[in-house]
Amino acid sequence: MRVLVAGATGVFGKTVLDHLVAAGHNPVEPTVPTTSRAAFLASLEGITADAVVNLLGTSTELVDGYRAMHPINRARLEGTSTLIAAARRIGATRLVGSSSFQGYGFDTHGDRALTENAPFGETDDTENAPVQLALRGLEQQTRAFGGVVLRFGHLVSENAERVPAVPRRWEGALPVVHVADAARAVVLALKSGAPGGTYNIAGDDTVSWREIQRAQSRVDGFAPPVVLPDALIRVLAPFASEVITRTSLRLSTDAARDELGWVATTNTVLAANTAPSVGVPA
């Protein structure tokens, strides 16, 4: 299958490309960014493809501030619209869109594993509204085309560039997925995803941000993460802190298992770790 892959940057994008090739597909990367719709579509002249994979806005890194989220929100909304126009132009009938667990909301969701039917992309009167609108818009456009949406947990991988600070008090559980498992989900969604389907993609480990970064430091040989007061993290990283100091949720992946044949199989960076964190005065 010839597959146009947009947003294949960073470790996750490279992993997706590698998995597509290993599965016998022929991935094609666009040469023009989707931020220029006319130029992007013009660059596809003479190109045909069977499918489009939309990885725009997907990364292993959390963005610190809301200003840095603006281009990501735009990519999810306008970039998805551009890719759907591209799919029609190049004859692609399959579309896989990358979404995020963040759409379930930055809050404590209890111990019940959320299914794909849980409220998603709901807005409030905070700066999170554009983030939720972008995720909801990405998904609505993808499903309207007949595409498949993958709601990824927090993506993790070895060889991180840095280990962020961790909160002193918050221990909310986060869904995580190794990039190799997430990439395998993309390949399976191209093959078996139901048109208009939505699937949670997360590993069996549901752990706190502190545990994630302690394990990351152990695996990559960094010093243990610095521990900061929760309130200070909210000042230094106002958007990232919504995940780091406020969110706790679990995801049900039954639909992915039953319909895609997907289960988490890759050992993540979240192995048991007892290394101490480096604290700062309260």
73-106-76 Cα angle (round to 5): 15
233 or 272, greater pLDDT: 233
Task: With cut-offs at 50, 70 and 90, classify the pLDDT of residue 266.
Answer: confident
- Residue 79: inside a domain, yes or no? yes
Tell me the mean pLDDT in the region 51-68.
Answer: 97
Tell me the mean pLDDT in the region 165-191.
Answer: 96
Domain range enclosing 135: 2-158+175-203+251-260
- Residue 68: inside a domain, yes or no? yes
Total domains present in the chain: 1
Residue 110: per-residue pLDDT: 92
- Residue 8: inside a domain, yes or no? yes
Residues 75-111: pLDDT tens digits? 999 999 999 999 999 999 999 999 999 999 999 999 9
Helix ranges (H only) for 54-145 are 66-74, 80-90, 129-145
Among 29-38, 97-106, 196-205, 270-279, whose mean pLDDT is lowest?
270-279
Residue 145: per-residue pLDDT: 98
- Residue 123: inside a domain, yes or no? yes
CATH number of 49's domain? 3.40.50.720
* Whole-number Cα distances in Å, 218 to 118, 160, 169, 213, 268: 35, 11, 21, 8, 12
Please say if the pLDDT value at position 61 is more than 90.
yes
Residue 277: per-residue pLDDT: 47
Contacts of 50 (CB under 8 A, 6+ apart): 1, 2, 3, 91, 92, 93, 94
- Residue 139: inside a domain, yes or no? yes
- Residue 120: inside a domain, yes or no? yes
Tell me the mean pLDDT in the region 28-37.
Answer: 95
Please say if the pLDDT value at position 246 is more than 60.
yes
Please say if the pLDDT value at position 153 is more than 60.
yes
Task: With cut-offs at 50, 70 and 90, classify the pLDDT of residue 204.
Answer: confident
- Residue 215: inside a domain, yes or no? no
Task: With cut-offs at 50, 70 and 90, classify the pLDDT of residue 280.
Answer: very low
Among 37-41, 147-151, 218-222, whose mean pLDDT is lowest?
218-222
pTM above 0.75, yes or no: yes
Please say if the pLDDT value at position 281 is more than 90.
no
* Whole-number Cα distances in Å, 59 to 35, 48, 56, 160, 212: 18, 27, 9, 12, 16
- Residue 152: inside a domain, yes or no? yes
